[in-house]
Chain A
Amino acid sequence: MKITEQPLSDLKVIEYAHGITGPFCTKLLADLGAEVIKVEDPGIGDTTRRMEPFMGNEPHPERSGLFLYLNTNKLGITLNLKSPAGAKVFRDLIKDADILVENNSPGTMEALGLGYDTLKQINPRLVMASITPFGQTGPYRDYKSCDLIAYHIGGAGYGTPMQVDSLNHPPLKAGGHQAHFCTGLSAAILIMSAIFSRHTNGEGKHIDLSEHEAIAFNSGRDLATYTYMKTVQNRVNSGLTGFGMHLKCKDGSIMMYLINDIQWQRAVETMGNPEWARDDRFKDYISRSQNWETLEPLLEEWTGKLTKSEVAYIMQADHVACSPVNTIEEVMASEHMVSRDFFIDVDHPQTGSIKYPGPPCKLSKNQAQTARPAPALGQHNEEIICHRLGYAMTDLLKMREARVI
Chain B
Amino acid sequence: MGKLPLEGVRVVDFTQIQAGPQATIWLAALGAEVIKIESNKRPDMLRTYFQLQTSSDDPSLNKSTHFAFLNYSKKGCTLNLTNPRAIEIAKELVKVSDVVAENFSVGVMERLGLDYATLQAIKPDLIMLSISGFGNTGPDKDHVAYAAMIHAFSGLASLTGYIGGDPTPSMGPFWSDKIAAQTGAFAVMVALHHRAMTGEGQYLDLSMSEATLAVLPEAVMDYTMNQIIREPKGNREDFMAPCGCYHCQGEDEWVAIAVANDEEWNALCGAMGNPEWAREERFSDQISRCRNQDALDVFIQEWTVNRGAYEVMEILQKAGVAAGPSVNVEQLANDPHLKERGFFVEMDHPEMGKGLLPRVPGKPIPTPIGNFHPAPSIGQHNDYVLRELLGIPEDEIARLVEDGAIY
Contact = CB atoms under 8 A, between A and B. Distances in A.
Contact of A65 (B45, B194, B225, B245): B225
B279 to A, nearest CB: 24
Interface stretch (A38-46, A106-114, A296-304, A352-360): A352-360
Contacts of B224: 65, 332, 343, 354-356
A86 B233 CA distance: 41
Contact of A225 (B45, B66, B206): B66
Interface in A137-162: 137-140, 143-162
Contacts of B236: 148
Interface in A291-345: 316, 319-332, 334-337, 339-340, 342-343
Contacts of B343: 213, 216
B218 A327 contact: no
A228 B230 CA distance: 41
Contact of B221 (A66, A154, A212, A337): A66
B217 A70 contact: yes
| Interface SS, A side | mixed
Contact of B254 (A140, A170, A342, A362): A170
Contacts of A326: 152-155, 158
A332 B209 CA distance: 11
Sorting the interface of chain A by its residue count into under 10, 10 to 19, 20 to 34 or 35 or more gives 35 or more
B55 interface: no
Contacts of B325: 152-153
Interface stretch (A75-83, A189-197, A384-392): A189-197
Q: Which 7 A-B pairs have the closest CB atoms?
A: A175-B159, A159-B172, A65-B221, A213-B361, A192-B189, A153-B324, A360-B214
Contact of A224 (B30, B69, B232): B69
A364 B256 CA distance: 42
B185 A172 contact: no
Contacts of B246: 170
B235 A170 contact: yes
A364 B202 contact: yes
A152 B66 contact: no
Interface stretch (B33-41, B82-90, B334-342, B376-384): B334-342
A36 to B, nearest CB: 14
Interface stretch (B107-115, B135-143, B270-278, B390-398): B135-143
A174 B161 CA distance: 8
Contacts of B5: 193-194, 196-197
A208 B363 contact: yes
B18 to A, nearest CB: 8
Contact of A207 (B65, B179, B210, B365): B365
Interface residues of B, number: 158
Given A232-B330, A327-B155, A205 B365 contact: yes
A136 B337 CA distance: 11
Contacts of A220: 22, 25, 69-70, 357-358
Contact of A321 (B145, B254, B367): B145
Interface string B56-90: 00000000011011100000000000000000000
B323 interface: yes
B270 to A, nearest CB: 15
Contacts of B233: 175
B148 interface: yes
Interface string A49-63: 001111111000000
B161 A161 contact: yes
B299 interface: no
Given A148-B237, A172-B161, A336 B134 contact: yes
B167 A253 contact: yes
Contacts of A234: 252, 328
B329 A68 contact: no
B332 A155 contact: yes
Nearest to B128: A364
B258 interface: yes
B191 interface: yes
Contact of B217 (A8, A356, A361): A356
B338 A212 contact: yes
B308 interface: no
Contacts of B367: 205
B17 to A, nearest CB: 9
Interface string B141-174: 1111110111111111111111000111111110
B359 to A, nearest CB: 8
Contacts of A222: 329
